Chains A and B, each alone.
Chain A
Amino acid sequence: MIEMQVDGRDIEAREGETILAALKREGIQVPTLCYMEGLLPSGSCRMCVVEMEGAAGLIPSCSYPVAQGMKIQTRSPKVLEARKTIVELLLGNHPDDCLYCVRSGKCDLQQLAQTMGVRQRSFRGKKNQMEKDVSGPIVRDPEKCILCGRCVRVCEEVQGIGAIEFVGRGCRSYIGTAFDQGLNVSTCVNCGQCIVACPTGALSEHSSINDVVAALTDPNRMVVVQHAPSVSVSLGEEFGVEPGQDVDGKMVAALRRVGFDRVFDTSFTADLTIMEEASELAARISGGGVLPMFTSCSPGWIKFVEQFYPDLIPNLSSCKSPQQMMGAVIKSYFAEREKIDPARIVSVSIMPCTAKKFECDRPEMAPNHVPDVDYVLTTREAAQLLRMFGVDLLAMTPEEADTPFGERSTAGKIFGASGGVMEAAVRTAHFLLTGKELDRLDMQPLRGMKGAKEIRAKIGDLEVGAAVVSGLGNARKLLEEIRAGRKDLHFIEFMTCPGGCINGGGQPIGSDPDAARARMQALYRIDQVESLRVSHKNTQVARLYEEYLGKPLGKKSHQLLHTHYNARDIL
């Protein structure tokens, strides 16, 4: 233990930690901008400065280690003045058009200006003048960028992509792509982790709210909506509910109030995905197909393989993601059942994800030029839609999703967490291969926020090697092992975002890092309390096969629920 003095009070700190970490434990809030929990400090923004006795200038607490007998001032006039000046300088070339900004109310810069009591424009610098990049689902507005570098770091250090970087030097530097091309032709996989990391409105998603509103108000359209497994455990946060509260029923009711003609649960097609994917795995194992098989639910991950590991494309499951499966059965089976022209249906999906916007626009997801899914809204956009339509989520009486795609098993629900797809798949694969249910459905080693998890599961006489990876940086490590000849794995679940969809790039902004954990626990709580826990017992899925699809991997399934991938040339 290290003893030090903070603002005249003795505190204890741990060997090797930073001043910031020690202060946080003591309940002292130090403002930060460039600091990111879990990554090495960069110490570039200087927001977190404190005064240290004996030091010539102020020191950054995020990167300075604690030492025995250290005396720190966190709120001396010098410290407060410095912090305020930093905010004022940042505002000097900032557009400060908060009223029109997508991030207003959730912006760290705005918050800091409030906290520091900035009440006038102290520096009137030349405003940044740069063009927006609206080439893809992720919109970059460099004018609002304060060059903290968080997006660059999450893109490179967490996701291993490096689509954006500091370009130029000094006061002319900006965050850009190679040769200043649009993100759509860069290595960007649209995961949206940069949006969540951004402290300002410089990064946001391309909004589809206006299109959805237009569809909702068009009497000639039937507007159906699906919601992803992880949305019901995060949407509440946008309305002040604690992270990890499931608002599934209220959300369904609220979406009906907004005017959607049908509300479907993407977890239903997650169950359908499991039926197809587990069958595909069984076929690959028994028929000598390409192994290990990779899951294909996460569109950021798909683009990642297409551009960085095209040699491993044959390992990808040919199953569409649950979103696209839902889109496909809505515009085929459902349209036929309701006797409505599929072109009259507007299919909306609410996802924790920005890459889903890219996925629904893929040409192979639009048979006969009718897209299976028309618009994707992120969790954030869905919340805005509810607010815009004056629907009070928390006041709703819970309702159930619509037939024929409303029933779900909890196996389909845990798709939202890293490890959930694997757990659901093993449950059903075991049944398909042995005809018996697993004795214990819970697979604890596959759960939790860890970036890489592995188990060896016994399915009948077969021992299956299964791995679960989330975060593309972690994916890269495992893929390199596979390229180098690793052979003991049969099935690998990959999710683009660290921890899975519960921590997706479309989730509420400004939540603390524990929020993702709470959302994950909420999904597993649902799995604990409900009785339908395996995909193959979903009666509506069984009925869909009976009435329409035939059997898993059958002709109709192949046509509607499976797809193909292409190598991508990237800069």
Chain B
Amino acid sequence: MNDVESVLKKFPRAGRDALIPILQEVQESMGYLSRDAVARISKHLDLPATKIYGVATFYNQFRFQPRGKHHFTVCRGTACHVKGSNRVMEMAEKMLKLKAGETSRDRVFSLETVACMGACGLSPVMSLNGEFHAKVTPQKLVKIIQECRETESKNEC
């Protein structure tokens, strides 16, 4: 039994009110919401897949692509914005050739924004695989990304 089935087993005869908990659990176990997973949930809840996609895209927490090995989360909260997080984000998009919510084809990098990390004192703040980086500048970000690339090329050798 795959991950979606085992989640759905916990919600027998569920109605549409169970949608968000189900999406959260599926994402928890699979890392993202795949097309097949959404189709399966749609059958289980008797809700159009489009409806589920509409609900899921409303919330920032749901992803539709698997996370990359190096997962960047750039804070776009007010404090970070004032401190220039938009430039950090631009640099991230340029360096990684990704837009927010996307994962590189080789699944090495993924990029995401978040409304606030609750670390405004460290603004602009960014996290890499859950590890916080304080007072990030575009230059600092370039270095961080380069380091990730170096580890990758070492692993390949």
Contact = CB atoms under 8 A, between A and B. Distances in A.
Given A165-B50, A178-B38, A179-B49, 11 more contacts: A156-B51, A161-B48, A162-B47, A162-B48, A169-B57, A169-B59, A176-B50, A176-B53, A178-B52, A179-B53, A571-B49
A433 interface: no
Contact of B54 (A161, A165, A186, A571): A165
B48 A179 contact: no
Contact of B53 (A156, A161, A167): A167
Given A161-B48, A179-B64, A187-B48, A167 B39 contact: no
16 contacts: A156-B48, A162-B50, A163-B48, A164-B50, A165-B48, A165-B53, A167-B57, A169-B58, A176-B54, A177-B53, A178-B38, A178-B53, A179-B35, A179-B53, A187-B48, A571-B38
Interface in A140-183: 156, 161-169, 176-179
A163 B35 CA distance: 15
A320 B53 CA distance: 35
Interface of A: 156, 161-169, 176-179, 186-187, 571
Contact of B51 (A165, A168, A169, A179): A165
A178 B35 CA distance: 9
Contacts of B49: 178-179, 187, 571
A163 B57 contact: no
Contacts, number: 51
The interface residues of chain A, by DSSP majority, are classed as loop
- Nearest 3 pairs of A and B residues by beta carbon: A162-B48, A165-B54, A178-B49
Nearest to B49: A178
Nearest to A161: B48
B103 to A, nearest CB: 15
Contacts of A163: 48, 50
A133 to B, nearest CB: 13
Interface in B102-126: none
A166 B50 CA distance: 9
Nearest to A170: B58
Contacts of A162: 47-48, 50-51
Interface in B8-64: 35, 38-39, 42, 47-54, 57-59, 64
Contacts of B38: 178-179, 571
Contacts of A164: 50
A164 B48 CA distance: 9
A173 to B, nearest CB: 8
A176 B57 CA distance: 11
A195 B57 CA distance: 25
A146 B128 CA distance: 38
A78 B42 CA distance: 46
Contact of B39 (A165, A168, A571): A571
B54 A167 contact: yes
Nearest to A174: B57
